[in-house]
Amino acid sequence: MKKNHLILLIIILFASCSKDPFDSTIFISDEKDHNLPAYTEWGYNTFGAEYERDYFLVSNMIVPCKILYKDEQLQFSLNGTIRNDKEMTLLFIFPFPQTHDYQDLLQLHKMEIDLLEQDCIVKILQDDNETILDIVEGKLHFKRAQLLSIDDQVNRVILSGTFELCYLKNSFPSYISNGRFDLGITKNFFYAY
């Protein structure tokens, strides 16, 4: 029996060592609403928002964020779940200066994007359906963009900020509010062409 426990312990240690610990999600609950992650700027790979009477949250089973630069626009996606682990992606698309590398995301530092601007698009992707939202009001605020270096080597860009929006759905307002994100972006989750 002890031999089985030792083998299991070795397998667990090997599996945990083979994965980059900075890619994991660390969910620290908000003091006011324990269903949401606290706002942090440490690269905890988490996000969350109130979605009507539900929550849109990060999942340990899904890469929380991917970023694509294409046609002079940045596509910033938050990938998570709502209602009993139903997958959903919230996609923000907005104009952005020429970008070739994930380290160029430092330009987002202190940038606030008004989602009503003509060149901004917000989409929800769910069940292989893509819906462009009819935005009434909203903001995406990158409060902080910073480099994380490990042993004097740049490892990732940490993007931290907030978001909220109101959009029309069947002629009635719907809300995504109290949103916050704290994400570590590496070259694996950024693509430009």
Domain hosting residue 158, numbered range: 22-192
| pLDDT at residue 22, as a whole number | 80
Q: What does the alpha-carbon distance between residue 67 and residue 94 come to, in Å, rounded to a whole number?
A: 12
In a domain, 9, yes or no: no
| pLDDT at residue 3, as a whole number | 52
| pLDDT at residue 19, as a whole number | 61
How many residues are listed for the chain in this entry? 193
Contact present, 93 and 73 (Cβ < 8 Å): yes
Two tokens at 183?
A: 């994400």
E strands, 20-132, where?
46-51, 54-57, 65-70, 73-82, 86-95, 111-114, 121-126, 129-132
pTM: 0.88
| pLDDT at residue 21, as a whole number | 74
> 144: which DSSP letter?
E
In a domain, 28, yes or no: yes
- Number of domains into which the chain is organized: 1
Q: Is 173 helix (H, G, I), strand (E, B) or coil?
A: strand
- pLDDT per 10-residue tile (average), the chain, 193 residues: 44 48 91 96 97 96 96 97 92 94 96 96 96 98 96 94 97 97 96 93
In a domain, 132, yes or no: yes
| pLDDT at residue 169, as a whole number | 94
In a domain, 17, yes or no: no
In a domain, 15, yes or no: no
In a domain, 158, yes or no: yes
In a domain, 54, yes or no: yes
In a domain, 3, yes or no: no
Q: Is 189 helix (H, G, I), strand (E, B) or coil?
A: helix
| pLDDT at residue 13, as a whole number | 43
| pLDDT at residue 118, as a whole number | 87
